Structure 1
Amino acid sequence: MKQPRILFLNHSAVLGGGELCLLDLAEAYQESSEVLLLSDGELTEKLCKIGIKVQVLPASESVLSIRATSNWKSLQAVSALWELAGKVSAIARSFQLIHANSQKAFIIAALARLRGSPPVIWHLRDILTADHFSWINCRVAVTLANYFACQVIVNSQATGKAFVELGGNSALVNVVYDGISPHRFQQPLNLDNLRNELGIGNAPLVGIFSRLSYWKGQHILLEALRKLTGVHVLMVGDALFGETEYVAKLKALSDLPELAGRVHWLGFRHDIPSLMQACDVIVNPSTAPEPFGRTIIEAQFAGTPIIAAANGGAIELIEDGYNGYLFPPGNVEALTRIIQTLLRDRALSSQIAKQGAIQAQQKFSLTQSLNNFNAVLEKVLT
Structure 2
Amino acid sequence: MHILVLEKEPTSRRGGQERSLFEVSRQLHQRGHRISLLYTQSGDLLSQYQAFCQQTLSITALSFSRHRPLQTFLNLPRDLNRAKALIHPNEPTLIYTNQIYDIPFAGLLSQLTRLPLVCHLRLPAPDKLDLQRSHYLSAVHKFITVSQHTKQTWLQKPWVQSLGHPPIEVVYNSIDTEYFTPASNQNPHPRQQLQQQWNLPTDHTLLAYAGRLDRRKGLENLLHGFAKFNATQPKSTLLIAGKPLLDRPDYLKELQVLTQTLNIQANVRFLGHLTETRSLYQASDLVIMPSIWPEPFGRVIIEAMACGTPVIASHTGGIPEILTGEFAQTLFPPRNPAALADRIQQVLTWKQTDPLLSQRCRQHVQTHFSLTTNIAEIEGIFQQTLSPQKLLAPPLPLSL
TM-score (norm 2): 0.82
Please tell me whether residue 179 in structure 1 is matched to residue 174 in structure 2: yes
Moved more, 238-247 or 53-62: 53-62
Which residue is equivalent to 1:270? 275
Deviation at 1:123, TM superposition (A): 0.7
Greater radius of gyration (CA): 2
How many Å separate the matches in 2 of 1:107 and 1:129? 16
Post-superposition Cα deviations, 1:8-64, rounded to whole Å, max 9, x if no partner, equal 00112332211111111221233511111111121213323566632222439972x
Q: Equivalent residue for 1:19?
A: 18
* Bigger mean CA offset, 38-47 vs 209-218: 38-47
**C-alpha deviations, 1:106-157, integer Å up to 9, x for none?**
2321133344462211011100144xxxx234x7645633x11010011111
Q: 2-side partners of 1:162 and 1:80: how far apart?
A: 34
The one-letter code matched in structure 2 to 1:267 is G
Q: 1:82·1:111 contact (CA, 8 Å) conserved in 2?
A: no
Q: CA deviation at 1:207?
A: 0.7
Match of 2:4 among 7, 12, 31: 7
Deviation at 1:173, TM superposition (A): 0.4
Give, as a single letter, the amino acid of the residue that structure 2 aligns with 1:10. E
Tell me the matched-pair count.
362
Residue 319, structure 1, aligned to residue 317, structure 2:
no
Return closer, same or farther for 1:79/1:320 CA change in 2, 3 Å cut-off.
farther
Instruction: Assess, with a 3 A threshold, how the Cα gap between structure 1 residues 119 and 274 changes in structure 2: closer, same or farther.
Output: same
Listed as ranges, the matches of 1:236-251 within 5 Å are 236-251=241-256
Partner SS for 1:238: coil
CA RMSD of aligned residues (A): 2.6
- 1:69 alignment partner in structure 2: none
**Equivalent pair of 2:143/2:168 in contact (CA under 8 Å):** yes
Q: Which amino acid aligns with 2:209?
A: I
Report the Cα distance in structure 2 between the residues aligned to 1:80 and 1:349, rounded to whole angstroms.
Answer: 61
Residue in 1 aligned with 2:372? 367
Paired residue for 1:66?
Answer: none
8 A Cα contact 2:62 2:105, kept in partner: no
Amino acid at match of 1:136: L
Partner of 2:215: 214
Q: Would the alpha carbon gap of residues 336 and 216 (structure 1) be closer, same or farther in structure 2, given more than 3 Å must change? A: same
Greater CA drift, 345-354 or 35-44 = 345-354
Match of 1:328 in 2: 333
Q: Percent identity?
A: 24
Q: Is the 8 A contact 2:10 2:39 kept in 1?
A: yes
Structure 2 unpaired stretches of 5+: 88-92, 388-400
Which residue in 2 is equivalent to 1:144? Answer: 136
For the 8 Å contact 1:10–1:37, the answer to whether it is kept is yes
Distance (Å, rounded) in 2 between the aligned partners of 1:87 and 1:318: 47
* Secondary structure class of the residue paired with 1:29: helix
Q: Distance between the aligned counterparts of 2:79 and 2:329, measured in 1?
A: 43
1:274-353 matched pairs, under 5 angstroms: 274-319=279-324, 321-322=326-327, 325-348=330-353, 350-353=355-358
> In the alignment, is residue 102 of structure 1 matched against residue 88 of structure 2?
no
Write the letter of the residue equivalent to 2:48.
K
Aligned-pair CA distance for 1:247: 2.0
* Contact preservation (8 Å) 2:123, 2:150: yes
Superposition deviation, residue 279 in structure 1? 0.8
| Aligned match for 1:357, one of 362, 371, 379 | 362
In 1, the alpha carbon distance for the partners of 2:361 and 2:328 equals 4
Is 1:224 aligned with 2:236? no
TM-score by length of 1: 0.86
**Matched residues in 1 for 2:63 and 2:18: separation?**
21
In 2, are the aligned partners of 1:62 and 1:80 still within 8 Å (CA)?
no
Quickly say closer, same or farther: Cα 1:362–1:80, change in 2 above 3 A. Answer: farther
C-alpha change, 1:179 and 1:87, in structure 2 (3 Å) is: farther
* Partner Cα separation in structure 2 for residue 54 and residue 114 of structure 1: 21
More displaced, 283-292 or 94-103?
A: 94-103
Partner-residue secondary structure (3-state), 2:293: coil
Pairs within 5 Å for 1:43-82: 43-49=45-51, 53-59=55-61, 63=65
- Of the three residues 83, 100, 122, the one matched with 1:125 is 122
Distance 1:364 1:49, change over 3 A: same
Whichever residue aligns with residue 335 of structure 1, its letter is: L
Task: Say whether the 8 Å CA contact 1:89–1:116 is kept in structure 2.
Answer: no
| Structure 1 Cα separation of the partners of residues 76 and 150 of structure 2 | 26
Map Cα deviations across residues 207-245 of structure 1 (whole Å, 9 max, x no partner): 111111000111111111111222211111111245224
Q: Which residue of 2 aligns with 1:67?
A: none
Query: CA contact under 8 A between 1:306 and 1:324: conserved in structure 2?
Result: no
* Unmatched runs of 5 consecutive residues or more in structure 1: 64-72
Looking at structure 2, the residues matched to 182 and 329 of structure 1 have their Cα atoms a distance apart, in angstroms, of 29
CA pair 328-349 structure 1, distance change in 2 beyond 3 A: farther
The 3 A distance-change label for structure 1 pair 344 and 362 is closer
Work out whether residues 34 and 53 of structure 2, in 8 Å CA contact, stay in contact via their aligned partners in 1.
Answer: no
Which residue of 144, 160, 163 corresponds with 2:151?
160
